[in-house]
Amino acid sequence: MSWAGPEDIFLSTSLASYLDKKLLVLLRDGVKLLGVLRSFDQFANVVLEGACERVIVGDLYCDIPLGLYVIRGENVVLIGELDLEREELPAHMICVSVAEIRRVSAMFKTNLDKFTVLHTSRGIIISSYVMFLDASAFVAV
Amino acid sequence: MLFFSYFKELVGKEVTVELKNDLAIRGILRSVDQYLNIKLENIRVVDQDKYPHMLSVRNCFIRGSVVRYVQLPPDGVDIDILHDATRREARGP
């Protein structure tokens, strides 16, 4: 990442144009973090203020607040600038509490393991990304 | 340096970047650097329904290390110039 002068901010690949903006950071492990960019370096190490993790399971989502975060650049996949005029998520998605999303996420993971084990034992390898579970199965009655 | 120079020629063209996590993003190449980090503008995610969190992202920075493919417009390449540059590079300093 090059260090840009003030004139170069709009043209170069430096993250300087994203400073003090609310961003979405995707990590290699699939974690989605949102927060305001306060600092960065040539390795794409990043400091996010007011960070929260957006956990999405099916149609349910929750923002878990994390505070001030330093992210090591090797884990960064993508840094996206959020357009404040557009909806961050599709309208059909339901916001739930932290406890609920943890519960649903644990259920999703145990089902995913069973699914993967079942299929690998039968000689079929299923990528975990292919699995879509009906979110209504997880809504508490 | 060859591919860095090559991508600099493609700034302003529409490309599709496929990442190692299988996410594919189409957008206009805004800039590239020595690590082949990429900045895209006016992006659209291929298979948007699978990635609802990307809905309001217009511009993004992609770390070079996570790119699997960069799909180019067919007319975005002058093959002869690319061949010459490759031969020059291969000849060494």
Q: Model confidence over A75-107: pLDDT tens digits?
A: 999 999 998 888 888 888 889 999 999 998 898
Answer yes or no: do B21 and A30 touch at CB < 8 A: yes
pLDDT at A24 over 80: yes
Distance (Å) of CA B21 to CA A59, B41, B45: 21, 20, 13
For the four alpha carbons of B23, B7, B40 and B32, in that order, the dihedral sign comes to positive
Distance (Å) of CA A95 to CA A15, A31, A41, A105, A141: 31, 17, 34, 14, 16
pLDDT at A29 over 70: yes
Q: What is the ipTM of this complex?
A: 0.89
Are the CB atoms for B73 and B29 separated by under 8 Å?
Answer: no
Q: Model confidence over B37-86: pLDDT tens digits?
A: 999 999 999 989 899 999 999 999 999 999 999 999 888 788 888 889 89
Say if A81 is an interface residue toward chain B (CB within 8 Å): yes
pTM, full prediction: 0.81
Contacts of B26 (CB under 8 A, 6+ apart): B14, B15, B16, B17, B43, B44, B45, B46
Tokens of B30: 């805004």
Chain B contact residues (CB < 8 Å to A)? 19, 21-23, 25, 30-35, 37-39, 43, 52-63, 65-66
pLDDT at A129 over 80: no
Q: Which of B31, B54, B55 sits opposite A13 (nearest CB)?
A: B31
